[in-house]
Structure 1
């Protein structure tokens, strides 16, 4: 059970907290301090103890950072959060469009006479710091590692998480930890590396077949690990978390207190592999010339799911799809204006909780109606909770953490009679989603090579969206998992077994939002009938099954092949989900999936 902590600054709290931080700047003789949304493990999600950015600024997005100087405090956010940040921060904080505006260039502009900007070496990676320092060359502005100034002023900072870990059953993992460690150790040997430092929790949790609950919605246990070329592992995790797991971990895994991590690094013989984009700066500094840059050894093997993990994910998606259909049928029976966003969120969680395999939801449910739907990562609060009115579109993005898999699905639902412009935009989003779902592509291509296919119908109408087309998803692990993505900046080749989301969208600020999302798994493509294959191909297998709102579709804007795909998909939804829902929901489902 997670203890609730208040970590978000209300607008009126931001100015005094910023003033207290600036007092610490004076004490440290600094001209600024960097506050990322990060922890020492460099995962995407952080525990309440590490929500420094939200506590200081009020901004609750899952990515971004603040550069607090004497005269200005910039809050850097990407396109997903441009609308959200304006509603959450006090006027003393200045939203900065990132990555269009780089931190290095911004610091040079704000500190024309030079200056010293502090940063916590546990919360930044060598890659991040090197990029900024390169941009600052010749400016007189320097970065300096220092203690965390936010921790000094945060009087009621929540303690670090200490939730117990548990063994992940072999029937869901599909491979023993010993086999994983042996396989990866051999690759270290082949690379000439004596060991590898692993700081990402989902990586060493996957390696050791354990799961935890140190972060809400993410089944990971915090810690650090060193994998040796012998297959042995030194695990730096509080013993209290691992009580009862001694036999599961075995003799090849040695547990140490987390406080011993840095001194253990001092004793490692090189070469020691570290990843420039995930280890903290302090790790690289401690290893010095014994360190060599390389990939996290767990990242790619973890991303390429084995058959047990894929089967578990497929089974979880069927049960999850049934819960979502129960919600959608209930929602369709309500009168416009009678429900609020929080009621939808609560009802959906009730439907999911009927599954005993559900451990948690996989992220905070997004239920944005009308203008709130245009906030891409909207999270309803008491202040923003809105009624679902006639003519609204409801963006419902949600998922579950099940013992056998992680789900993430988005549907956009018409409330009453939708506006014509919204129907046209919805159909373009759907066309892009279908185009990606139907795709076959040659082996060796990455997300950057194919993601434009999901945007093309929108581009033809002069429209687009400011998030990636898709992200990787774990197997009862993080709902956002690398290294694979459907993104113009991802050069990681897609491989069989990888699970990704396919989620094009469209957002009109102040009016409505649209997103349609299914999870897909990469498979080797079968030969086409009568075809003469020129090269090996890959294709998608769909994991998510729930109706797509036909009331929002303009059939004339869909090509015949897309209509055929949708009708076939809806027939599969009825076949797979129909036997799992109540009789009343089955009647609704039959109508919702009627051929277009």
Structure 2
């Protein structure tokens, strides 16, 4: 009997909420320290999107399992703040009798606190879970209400969380230079040059993604993202020091690091940081990921806490030729797996396909392709009404079988040794309605508008976000998430600072990788999203007098022709889709088995063909 391979995903309900008892336990802890409220963000000390199990405080306390959110618990009321991705999910997961779900588009936590804190009250917070700017916002809200803000040395949720998981301590290994495309020494030289230019004495690297990139290492402390938790200190002059939570550092990595950096235990970090602050040294901490506690420690040691951008973030965002080559190879491998899956789904759908069965089948196809290290996030596999939940995660309790006349949305990605992928396809199960085809086509038009965009150097993601929404806006429709996020090279599937969104203020540069994923969601009915990854590249425009940029589409997989209304799509967009499908067919067909090749041939026929 063959033993099945272990799976990267499980389908148990991750919610841990036990109703009012955990909220009441937290309130008892507040009374013990004579405070009136506590702020519980979904965060760890690195402001990670995906946090280790021991940092899932928000999920443990409230039951909400989304990747972003914040709760405020006061003596007589509690609120959970979520963005547009989670306005459907959150009310289904929390006890709304004791926790009010507040969409951020309606009220910010600071505005809510200003209205609900009473004069003389004290709001407590954990300084390791908030950035300096986040603390400043909380303080302004408290002052507005006549209340005060107090940092507590020990997290109050931890104090009442019986059976809290231990911190992770996964293996840390070297990332090969031929895949990284740049040596550790060269990267450190670039970082030191940036510090010198900015008049910075020391850089604190608090973002594990930047830690992994700088030192060409990959870890296993976080599910689905190859990160090692820890910090680094990079002085403008002298040796760097690396502080990893895990002691499991492989011999190759240790040998590679020893000429460049001291390997120190995490417990030595605070004292070493203080030692670099003497003489009013200017110490840069990252505004996006550094904890307010770091600022406090620098200032207590007479240093100057320079809160700004970690220069590594911008360096990491622009992929070098080796990273781009690896990403293209990963997308070819992933395109084969996704195409095999889509062909399987088409064959299996008439007999009934459950959401979990789809996740498991896609994972199996990816494993067969080789070099798979993990999925890049828990697969969003939503049929019918579950597809309308933007970040839906199927569990055994919510699993359903797709029915004829429904849409099936599957958003997934992979972590390969040479690159990270993220792709969404929406598929018709049976015959779609005219309304479904209209909405799908409008989403597709927005996707094509981004893919085809040409724009001058210096353009930000915010300036092109509207391209993806125009066709939806014309019909009085929209979606409540960004159009695109940055993507790493065998790192995080969500990488900054680049993004295509109303808040995307960073200029796009050649070598940046982003997603292109407009959508439409009809609550309790269906969801539509079409996502490819795109690479920013230079473009030459004959007769032009500006430096221009555009996008190369990296993802290779067919888009469901059955959901397209040619009259809505129009000839120009149809030509783009036909050319894309011809490219997919040419790239993937030689490596597919006969039946799948035949399926792909039919799935990528020109729109005008029968």
**TM-score, normalising length from structure 2?**
0.95
Per-residue CA shift, 1:217-255, capped at 9, x if unaligned? 000100011111136321111462224122111322111
Residue 578 of structure 1: aligned partner: 589
Residue 332 of structure 1: aligned partner: 346
CA–CA distance in structure 1, aligned partners of residues 349 and 209 of structure 2: 43
CA–CA distance in structure 2, aligned partners of residues 382 and 68 of structure 1: 30
Residue 418 of structure 2: aligned partner: 404
Which stretch shows the higher mean deviation, 74-83 or 329-338?
Answer: 329-338
Residue 70 of structure 1: aligned partner: 75
Residue 558 of structure 2: aligned partner: 547
Once the two structures are TM-superposed, the CA of residue 451 in structure 1 deviates from its matched residue by 0.8
Residue 112 of structure 1: aligned partner: 118
Residue 92 of structure 2: aligned partner: 87
Q: Is the 8 A contact 2:340 2:365 kept in 1?
A: yes
1:249 aligns with 2:257: yes
Q: Is the 8 A contact 1:185 1:231 kept in 2?
A: no
Once the two structures are TM-superposed, the CA of residue 260 in structure 1 deviates from its matched residue by 1.6
Residue 265 of structure 1: aligned partner: 273
CA–CA distance in structure 1, aligned partners of residues 438 and 388 of structure 2: 16
Q: Is the 8 A contact 2:335 2:557 kept in 1?
A: yes
Q: Is the 8 A contact 1:108 1:141 kept in 2?
A: no
SS of aligned partner of 2:336 = helix
Residue 359 (structure 1) aligned to one of 340, 352, 373: 373
Once the two structures are TM-superposed, the CA of residue 293 in structure 1 deviates from its matched residue by 2.3
CA–CA distance in structure 1, aligned partners of residues 432 and 35 of structure 2: 54
Q: Is the 8 A contact 2:443 2:529 kept in 1?
A: yes
CA–CA distance in structure 2, aligned partners of residues 565 and 208 of structure 1: 41
Quick one: structure 1 residues 517 and 7, their matched pair in 2 at CA, closer, same or farther if it must change by over 3 Å?
closer
Q: What RMSD, in angstroms, separates the aligned Cα atoms of the two structures?
A: 1.6
1:282 aligns with 2:293: yes
SS of aligned partner of 1:242 = coil
Per-residue CA shift, 1:88-117, capped at 9, x if unaligned? 111211101115311121012212334111
Quick one: structure 1 residues 327 and 9, their matched pair in 2 at CA, closer, same or farther if it must change by over 3 Å?
closer
1:123 aligns with 2:129: yes
Quick one: structure 1 residues 127 and 153, their matched pair in 2 at CA, closer, same or farther if it must change by over 3 Å?
same
Residue 3 of structure 2: aligned partner: none
Once the two structures are TM-superposed, the CA of residue 292 in structure 1 deviates from its matched residue by 1.3
1:455 aligns with 2:455: no
Q: Is the 8 A contact 1:9 1:58 kept in 2?
A: yes
CA–CA distance in structure 2, aligned partners of residues 402 and 191 of structure 1: 36
CA–CA distance in structure 2, aligned partners of residues 515 and 3 of structure 1: 22
**TM-score, normalising length from structure 1?**
0.97
Query: What is the correspondence of 1:157-556 to structure 2 with a 5 Å cutoff?
Result: 157-230=164-237, 232-238=239-245, 240-244=247-251, 245-269=253-277, 270-288=281-299, 289-336=303-350, 338-525=352-539, 527-528=540-541, 531-556=542-567
Quick one: structure 1 residues 148 and 99, their matched pair in 2 at CA, closer, same or farther if it must change by over 3 Å?
farther
Q: Is the 8 A contact 2:36 2:123 kept in 1?
A: yes
Residue 158 (structure 2) aligned to one of 146, 151, 157: 151
Quick one: structure 1 residues 4 and 416, their matched pair in 2 at CA, closer, same or farther if it must change by over 3 Å?
closer
Q: How many aligned residue pairs are there?
A: 592
Once the two structures are TM-superposed, the CA of residue 268 in structure 1 deviates from its matched residue by 1.0
Residue 62 of structure 2: aligned partner: 57
CA–CA distance in structure 1, aligned partners of residues 44 and 12 of structure 2: 18
CA–CA distance in structure 1, aligned partners of residues 246 and 551 of structure 2: 42
Per-residue CA shift, 1:19-73, capped at 9, x if unaligned? 1111101111111111111001112110111111111111110000111111111
Once the two structures are TM-superposed, the CA of residue 134 in structure 1 deviates from its matched residue by 2.5
Which stretch shows the higher mean deviation, 470-479 or 124-133?
Answer: 124-133
CA–CA distance in structure 1, aligned partners of residues 40 and 131 of structure 2: 13
Once the two structures are TM-superposed, the CA of residue 339 in structure 1 deviates from its matched residue by 1.5
1:45 aligns with 2:50: yes
CA–CA distance in structure 2, aligned partners of residues 287 and 154 of structure 1: 30
CA–CA distance in structure 1, aligned partners of residues 105 and 263 of structure 2: 40
Q: Is the 8 A contact 1:182 1:230 kept in 2?
A: no
Unaligned ranges ≥5, structure 2: 1-5
Once the two structures are TM-superposed, the CA of residue 9 in structure 1 deviates from its matched residue by 3.8
CA–CA distance in structure 2, aligned partners of residues 104 and 554 of structure 1: 45
Once the two structures are TM-superposed, the CA of residue 483 in structure 1 deviates from its matched residue by 0.6
Quick one: structure 1 residues 335 and 480, their matched pair in 2 at CA, closer, same or farther if it must change by over 3 Å?
closer
Quick one: structure 1 residues 455 and 30, their matched pair in 2 at CA, closer, same or farther if it must change by over 3 Å?
same
Per-residue CA shift, 1:352-383, capped at 9, x if unaligned? 01122100000000110000000000000011
Once the two structures are TM-superposed, the CA of residue 350 in structure 1 deviates from its matched residue by 0.4
Quick one: structure 1 residues 468 and 199, their matched pair in 2 at CA, closer, same or farther if it must change by over 3 Å?
same
Once the two structures are TM-superposed, the CA of residue 10 in structure 1 deviates from its matched residue by 4.7
Quick one: structure 1 residues 548 and 376, their matched pair in 2 at CA, closer, same or farther if it must change by over 3 Å?
same
Residue 26 of structure 1: aligned partner: 31
Q: Is the 8 A contact 1:107 1:141 kept in 2?
A: no
SS of aligned partner of 1:336 = helix
Unaligned ranges ≥5, structure 1: none
Q: Is the 8 A contact 2:521 2:527 kept in 1?
A: yes
SS of aligned partner of 2:248 = helix
Which stretch shows the higher mean deviation, 140-149 or 79-88?
Answer: 140-149
CA–CA distance in structure 2, aligned partners of residues 371 and 35 of structure 1: 30
SS of aligned partner of 1:137 = helix
Residue 98 (structure 1) aligned to one of 104, 108, 112: 104
SS of aligned partner of 1:100 = coil
SS of aligned partner of 1:524 = strand
SS of aligned partner of 2:577 = helix
